[in-house]
Structure 1
C-alpha cells in the first residue's frame, strides 16, 4: 500500500477534504501480456481511465511487470514525472538500472516518452506525472498552503476545532 498526499491548486485549498480508497481489484487494469499489467490509479493509460479524481491534471499508475516485459509511458514534456520502484528492478530507457526503493525524477522539458523494462520477476513500479502548479508552497506538519499567513490561519482553525473532532 502506498498513501499519497497531493497538493491542491490555490483556488481549491478550502475544498472539503476527501479520502479515496482505491482497492486493487477495483482499479482499471491495462493488460500488457499474460502476466504483466498496469493499474491506472488516476488519469489515463492507453486511453483507459483510472477511478481516482484530482484537482489538477495527474497520471498515476502501478506497473506490475515480469522479467523482460517492457512498458512505455508518454506524458507532456512540461509535466513533472517520477517513478518509485516498490519491488524488483527495472531498466529505464535501456540505460539506467533501478532497484527496489529507488526513486527517480525525470527532467522537465526532455523526452515525453520513456520505457521501463523489468529486470526481475514480480516488479512493481509506481509511476507519477502531473502538471506543475507553479505556485509558492508554505508547509508545516500536515498543512500545505501557499503563504505563511494561510498556514497560520489553517493552524488557528485546526486548534479552534473548525476541522471537526474525533
Structure 2
C-alpha cells in the first residue's frame, strides 16, 4: 500500500549531556511526531564524541526509551536502579512526576557506541504519576526473519511479522506507542502488517529505502495503513519503526521537562531546585 506521507524530517547534528555528539530529530510543537517528541542517535568510534556521557540530570513528564546497537551505557537513578544497557538491550523509563538519573558510556573496544534514545510524550493526566523503570536484559528482544532478506526485532509492544507474533518484553508505553527495528539486506523486502495506532513513523538510520524512497538520516510521518511493504536499496537498510496515537495536547518544553503549560514548567524547575527529584 502507498504511504500517505504527512511530514519529512531530517536528523541534525547537535550535542547534549557533557558534550556528547549526537544526531537529533525533534518536534516539541506537537504538530509532527506526536506522540513522540525526539529521536536521538549516537554513533561513533571516536571516544571524544561520547566520553563525557550524561551526568546526573532530571526529567519530568516524558518517557525515555533507549536502544543500543553497539556498546552501551550504564544507567543509574535515584530509585536505586543500576543497569548496563548494552548491544541489543532496551530500557524504558516513564519519568512521571520526576526522575534523577545518569547515563555513562560503555563503548565497544573496536566499534565504539551506536544507539538511540527516543522521547515519548505523556498524557496530561499521567505526567505527575510515580516514575516507572524496566529493561529487557532478563528476556531479550525477540526477532524473526523472512525469506526476502528482512529481519524485524520487536523493541516495545507486539508486532505481527508475516506468520510470527513478536512480543517485546517492554509494553505499556504512553499513547499506545510501539517501536521495532527493521533490518534489511541489500534489496531486501519486508511487509509490516496489522499496524496499530493512528500514526506510522519510519526513521532510516542506515543505508536507504527504495520504496518508499528514503535516505539515511531521514524520517517520515504517515497515516497508518493496515499494512505496508518496505524495500531496501542496494546498500540494505536499517529502519526504526514507530506507531502510536497522537495525544493532541498542548506541549510546553524546557530542557529535560515536558509539560502542558509554562506554569507547570516553572514548577518543575522549582521542585528540582528544592531537591524533590531525590538524590543519587
Q: Name the TM-score class by shorter chain.
A: 0.7 to 0.9
Is the contact between residue 27 and residue 50 of structure 1 (CA under 8 Å) also seen in structure 2? yes
**Structure 2 partner of 1:100:** 216
The structural deviation recorded for 1:20 is: 4.2
Residue by residue over 1:24-47, the C-alpha shift from the partner in whole angstroms, topping out at 9 and shown as x without a partner, is x81111222385310111122113
Q: What is the correspondence of 1:1-166 to structure 2 with a 5 Å cutoff?
A: 1-22=115-136, 26-33=140-147, 36-46=150-160, 47-53=165-171, 54-74=173-193, 75-76=195-196, 79-92=198-211, 96-106=212-222, 108=223, 111-166=225-280
Residue by residue over 1:98-141, the C-alpha shift from the partner in whole angstroms, topping out at 9 and shown as x without a partner, is 121111111x3x64432211113452100111011121111111
Q: Secondary structure at the match of 1:33?
A: coil
Distance in 1, matches of 2:134 and 2:142, equals: 15
Count of equivalent residues? 159
TM-score (norm 2): 0.52
Distance in 1, matches of 2:146 and 2:180, equals: 13
Query: In proportion to residue count, which structure has more strand?
Result: 2
Distance in 2, matches of 1:124 and 1:21, equals: 22
- Segments of structure 1 that go 5 or more residues without pairing to the other structure are none
Over aligned residues, Cα RMSD in angstroms?
Answer: 2.2
- Segments of structure 2 that go 5 or more residues without pairing to the other structure are 1-114
TM-score (norm 1): 0.83
